[in-house]
Amino acid sequence: MDNIQLLLQAPVFSVQLLVDGVLVGAIFVLAAYGMALVWGVMNIINVAQGELVILGGYVTWTLFTFGVHPLAGIPVSAAVLFFVGWGMYRAVVFRLVERDLFVSLLATFGISILLQQLMNHNLVFGPDIHSADPGLGSLLLLGGDIVIANIKLAAFAMALAVAAALAVFMKRSRAGRAIRATAQNNRAARLMGVDTDRVYALTFALNAALCGAAGALVVMVWVIHPFIGIIYTVRSFMIVVVAGIGNVAGVAAAGLGLGAAENFAGFILGAEFQAAFVFTLLVVILLWRSFRLGRRRQVLR
């Protein structure tokens, strides 16, 4: 616990950790927003969420190896993943709508394994770790005590921009209204002439596109490899559980908070325990929510 003392002695370190964490937390918000969308509209928890993020990262990385600047990879990743999502819906996910929980959970879990192994195969991306350095340099604050990679600032701004664009889309566009109507009452929406099947396809594709954009940011800020997807699924789930499905501002706040909490935990416990912290936090959060509900004689379900 020497690191705690370090934090107490040099408060500027805490600021560094906080800023870093909040900035990258915005990336988690994107994937979490997608999960909330699919959960709310289709009542499916997509366990393959993290794999979509990683796949988005690979799209940007592939472009990067051909000399394209990774920032330009963000829209491409989103677009490619949009079609991947649409394809996934048409191939499998449409069979999961209105099926019982067991089916949708395990089927998306199977898709998650499938995507991991597909990406891991030597003929596809292979098991190596990749990243795409955008070469943006760093910003020095407080006379150099705080160093912020510009890409993290850019990631934060991009994540906010994408989230805002989505919010406008959901409010203003016809398709967005159809999605919201279906989320509220799919039978009524169907009776009113909404093609719910198309709405579901669009929802899932949008979710994949959000994950794709998040993945493009991940490959610039950190690294990707085929098997680290699950942690993004868990982060998204945690954020949505804390915030609630319909709560956009809450998702943003929870995501940024998670980013900061993770950064502190990684510093205090050591980097090798950062992932352990995330998964343990998930268990703790669920138990805490369940305990709170239990006192009101309710069950988390």
Q: What is the contact surface with other proteins in residues (CB under 8 A)? A: 45, 47, 92, 95, 101-103, 105-107, 109-118, 120-122, 227, 230-231, 234, 237, 241, 270, 272-273, 275-276, 279-280, 282-283, 286-287, 290-291, 294, 296-297, 299-301
Closest distance between other proteins and the C-beta of residue 72, in Å?
Answer: 31
Complex with other proteins: residue 45 or 189, whichever CB lies closer: 45
Closest distance between other proteins and the C-beta of residue 241, in Å?
Answer: 7
Give whole-number Cα distances, 194 to 62, 168, 170, 175, 219, in Å. Answer: 38, 20, 15, 10, 38
Closest distance between other proteins and the C-beta of residue 123, in Å?
Answer: 9
- β partners of residue 139: 148
- End-to-end CA, the chain: 37
Closest distance between other proteins and the C-beta of residue 100, in Å?
Answer: 9
Complex with other proteins: residue 2 or 272, whichever CB lies closer: 272
Residue environment code for 193-227, b if the CB has 16+ CB neighbours within 10 A, otherwise e: ebebeebbbbbbbbbbbbbbbbbbbbbbbeebbbe
Torsion-angle region of residue 18: left (phi > 0), alpha (psi -120 to 50) or beta?
Answer: alpha
Question: What angle (nearest 5°) sits at the alpha carbon of residue 99, between those of residues 97 and 101?
Answer: 105
Residue pair 238/258 in contact by the 8 Å Cβ criterion: yes
Record the tokens describing residue 285, joined without a space.
């959060």
Closest distance between other proteins and the C-beta of residue 278, in Å?
Answer: 8
Complex with other proteins: residue 6 or 300, whichever CB lies closer: 300
Complex with other proteins: residue 153 or 282, whichever CB lies closer: 282
Complex with other proteins: residue 13 or 227, whichever CB lies closer: 227
Closest distance between other proteins and the C-beta of residue 11, in Å?
Answer: 28
Closest distance between other proteins and the C-beta of residue 138, in Å?
Answer: 29
Residue pair 203/179 in contact by the 8 Å Cβ criterion: yes
Residue environment code for 70-93, b if the CB has 16+ CB neighbours within 10 A, otherwise e: bbebbbbbbebbbebbbebbeeeb
Closest distance between other proteins and the C-beta of residue 275, in Å?
Answer: 5
Closest Cα partner for 254 from 36, 1, 15, 3?
Answer: 36
- Give the whole-angstrom CA distance, residue 55 versus residue 151: 20
